Structure 1
Amino acid sequence: MIKKIQQTFDQFAILKYVLRWFLLTIPVAIVSGSMVALFLFLLDQATLLRWDNEWLLYFLPVAGVVIVALYRFKGKNAEAGNNLVMDEIHKPGGGVPVRMAPFVLFTTVATHLFGGSAGREGTAVQIGGSMAHYIGKKLKLKKEDLRILLISGVAAGFGAVFGTPVAGAIFALEVMAIGRIKYDALLPSFLASVMADIVCSAYGIQHTHYHIDFHKPLFDSSSFLQFDPTLLLSVILAGVLFGLASFAFSELSHTIKSLSNKYIRRKLLIPVLGGLTVIGLSLVLGTKDYLGLGVTTADGSGVSIVNAFKAGGADTFSWFWKLLFTAITLSTGFKGGEVTPLFFIGATLGNTLATLTGNPVELFAGLGFIAVFAGATNTPLACTIMGVELFGGEHVLYYAVACFIAYYFSGHSGIYASQRVGVSKANFSYHLDAENTLKHIREAKKKKDNQGEQE
């Protein structure tokens, strides 16, 4: 009898917990979803304006100087972006400034208006994180509750910007530490992500729809195998290449940023050189396809994410050019996310691999779309779920295989330098522990390599 009474009280406590977090995440979802909707609207308008006025590209260096100067003199610690949000979640310190949201919103729009190759996820995550922190401070939440609300803000921004609320919730939990997920923020993240997506959609925002028209039975009635062994082998090999592409993007981005800060003394000169390089590459290649988001093009032809799902929709090295354009743009001071360019890189690489091997183009474009993202952010579970939300669940086995393998082959690298290492992917000769960030690991590896060269 006493045990049953205790269980009843437990259920009431759970109900109270659910209702409390439902109420706490409502303002985060409303504010984040609304700002993301505004951001996506402005981003579309900026893209259309640039398509109609191609001369805007030549002002990219000037825009870069303005962006860098704005953050340097007015942004304070907001310049750290996603890494600041992660650091604040792991070790609360100076907080996430509310100015981060408007700063990153308008500077990202400016980057796209003038032709920088960038994405939108970073902006949405920073909007969600800064708004959640502001609301949490106003409500005078305790540190642990504020941490959970911050994670919920990340989920809200991600879920709203891509229209993938379940993946948004898992992403916010998974991205904090490689190989380790704490479920204390599971319900708040899910609530915030779902409601933010609803709010964003209520403004009339339409997300791009992708289709995988390849249909093949997962099993032959005469076989015990519930998949196509030949196709699965191709997916495994593709997953390795997707992981290496993730690694290449992350390392090139960090290298460009490091070398720029090391050898260019006048910091305002860095975005000038970055902008001029992007302009020069566009002129040499004779195409504007690698500028901006890359979801589609002005006339619908050329190389884009949408066209990568069609045979002949990408050139052999389209993935490489987008990787280079984006690494230069984001590493020289321009603002925006990395994820949409990663979708481009993965989809076009998948298109190329399918063309070379005779595999279904739309399936491999979809696999690259999510797997390169999984490797670069170290979030294989969220990306597998994203595949289901975007493309349907028929090929979920192949989604998982591609994302999991890409995750391992991207190594201890990633686009978020403040991401912690909860569980090592493999045994390395340099020391890893739960307090290490990817930045610390990169520095430790570099130090070991330098010692080896000296010996």
Structure 2
Amino acid sequence: MNKTFWLTLLTWIFFGIMIGAIVGSATALLLTVNDHLGETRENRPWFVLFLPLAGLALGYLYMKAGTSAGNELYKGNNLVIESVQGKGKMLLRLGPLVYLGTFMTILFGGSTGREGAAIQMGGSVAEAVNKLFKVKLIDTRILLMGGISAGFGAAFGTPITAAIFGMEMASLGRLKFEALVPCLVASFVGHYTTEKFWHVEHEKFIIATVPEVSALTFSKVILLAIVFSLVSVLYCQLRHGIHKLSEKYTMKNHTVRAFVGGLIIVALTYIIGSYDYNGRGLDMLEDSFTQDVPPYAFLAKLVFTAVTMGMGFVGGEAIPLFFVGATLGNTLHAFIDLPLSFLAALGMIVTFGGGANTPIAAFLLGVEMFNGKGIEFFFVACLTSYLFSGHHGLWPSQTIYEPKSRLYGVRKGETIKRTEEMKE
């Protein structure tokens, strides 16, 4: 271990602490404001009528953020991934803009989450550090991954998961261990800054009863994991299909896209006769662990979120996928003899993991969120979901470093987007 080793290590730790502290503080603001805006909308459900106008404003902001960069900004998490891969350039204004867009979406009843905003802010902060300190090119991508970890850890209060998520998000079949130090430092600093320094609390979900370990239980868990993985594919395909068609028919006029998307959400809200699927839906998500929820809840949330995100609104998709998976698990309780809270937890984690293509991070998310309960079931379920969700996902820019199985006949080095286009 020479001088260069220690100098590089200390540099990574220093930047990891800096990124984690800034992103943790920014995420604390995100969570606090989101809670306030969510409560405001719940007390004034008629706010949803203004969602089309919010779409007009949001689309205008994104298009005017830069002539050539306007469309790039709409890539969101995909832009962060491409920057990590060296195929794109991270934009400093993406973080503040996605925060404003998330606030607008939640206040007026679009179905969205928060991890997208936190990750994109993490990427923006990391890019600012890269520019301010003129970080060597070889380290810029590593610090971007640290920004991803800081955002995810601060957003969900799961620092171990976040450290792995930052290394796992950009590519299928590969953990980028070269970013281990900044990802680990940034995730823990981001988490503790949000939770301990700013005293922001995260949601708590409890598994009341874990089923007995047996061959029969594992068989049920594997079957359920396949179902959850297929639902995650359904969401991803619907969301991307809406995105593609809306861009085609509006000629990438994001102002028109988001305005029409707002109109559709308003119409869906009054057709279904409930405001439960607007905003984040945290109340029903929590209820799915303790009591019966409407059997169609998972499908309603899936459609609301696919329209919201596919038509140009912003935010995140983790919370909506948590909702979809947990409520589907709740519905399946009538057919599968397993504890209600366990089914909700399994659906919540596995559906997200199938969409994100991050099986190790998803498994660790289950471990951290549920204090290690049912660890063996979550491990098997997350790997099963990863295999059966195929080469689809939330983020088309993910590169297939290693195909999930040779059964799929997919080539290395392709992106999810390219793989799907070749199958059309």
TM-score category by the smaller chain? over 0.9
2:289 aligns to what?
A: 309
CA contact (8 A) 1:347 1:365 kept: yes
Q: CA deviation at 1:429?
A: 7.0
Q: CA deviation at 1:409?
A: 1.3
Q: Within 2, Cα distance between the matches of 1:439 and 1:421? A: 10
Structure-2 change in CA distance of 1:20 and 1:267 (3 Å): closer
2:418 aligns to what?
A: 440
Q: CA deviation at 1:26?
A: 1.6
CA contact (8 A) 1:339 1:373 kept: yes
Q: Deviations over 1:364-405 (max 9, x none)?
A: 110111100100010011011011110011311111111111
Q: Does 1:91 align with 2:67?
A: no
1:154 maps to a residue whose letter is I
Q: Does 1:268 align with 2:259?
A: no
1:223 aligns to what?
A: none
CA contact (8 A) 1:355 1:361 kept: no
Q: Within 1, Cα distance between the matches of 2:408 and 2:6? A: 48
2:320 aligns to what?
A: 341
1:152 aligns to what?
A: 146
Q: Within 2, Cα distance between the matches of 1:113 and 1:200? A: 22
1:82 aligns to what?
A: 77
Three-state SS of the structure 1 residue aligned to 2:369 is helix
Q: CA deviation at 1:428?
A: 5.9
1:114 aligns to what?
A: 108
Q: Deviations over 1:211-233 (max 9, x none)?
A: 0010455xxxxxxxxx2222111
Pick which of 162-171 and 74-83 moved more.
74-83
CA contact (8 A) 1:178 1:423 kept: yes
Map 1:317-356 onto structure 2 (within 5 A). Answer: 317-356=296-335
2:19 aligns to what?
A: 28
2:172 aligns to what?
A: 178
Three-state SS of the structure 2 residue aligned to 1:320 is helix
How many percent of aligned residue pairs carry the same amino acid?
Answer: 37
CA contact (8 A) 1:430 1:444 kept: no
CA contact (8 A) 2:165 2:358 kept: yes
Map 1:34-45 onto structure 2 (within 5 A). Answer: 34-45=25-36
Map 1:51-450 onto structure 2 (within 5 A). Answer: 51-75=42-66, 76=69, 77-91=72-86, 93=88, 95-201=89-195, 202-215=197-210, 227-265=213-251, 267-296=254-283, 304-312=284-292, 314-427=293-406, 431-434=410-413, 436-446=414-424
Count how many residue pairs are aligned between Structure 1 and Structure 2: 418
Query: So what's the TM-score if we normalise by structure 2?
Result: 0.95
Structure-2 change in CA distance of 1:55 and 1:198 (3 Å): same
Q: CA deviation at 1:311?
A: 3.2
Unaligned runs of 5+ in 2: none
Q: CA deviation at 1:241?
A: 0.4
Relative contact order, CA 8 A, sep 6+: which one is greater? 2
CA contact (8 A) 1:430 1:445 kept: no
Q: CA deviation at 1:430?
A: 6.0
Q: CA deviation at 1:13?
A: 6.0
Q: CA deviation at 1:444?
A: 1.0
CA contact (8 A) 1:175 1:379 kept: yes
CA contact (8 A) 2:59 2:256 kept: no
Three-state SS of the structure 2 residue aligned to 1:316 is coil
Aligned-residue CA RMSD (Å): 1.5
Q: CA deviation at 1:427?
A: 3.0
Q: Within 2, Cα distance between the matches of 1:429 and 1:355? A: 34
Query: So what's the TM-score if we normalise by structure 1?
Result: 0.89
CA contact (8 A) 2:211 2:339 kept: no
Pick which of 280-289 and 256-265 moved more.
256-265
CA contact (8 A) 1:92 1:143 kept: no
Q: Within 1, Cα distance between the matches of 2:99 and 2:307? A: 20
Unaligned runs of 5+ in 1: 1-8, 218-226, 297-303, 447-455
Three-state SS of the structure 2 residue aligned to 1:412 is coil
Q: Within 1, Cα distance between the matches of 2:228 and 2:336? A: 15
1:442 maps to a residue whose letter is E
Structure-2 change in CA distance of 1:428 and 1:356 (3 Å): closer
Q: Deviations over 1:119-157 (max 9, x none)?
A: 101000000011001111111111111110000000000
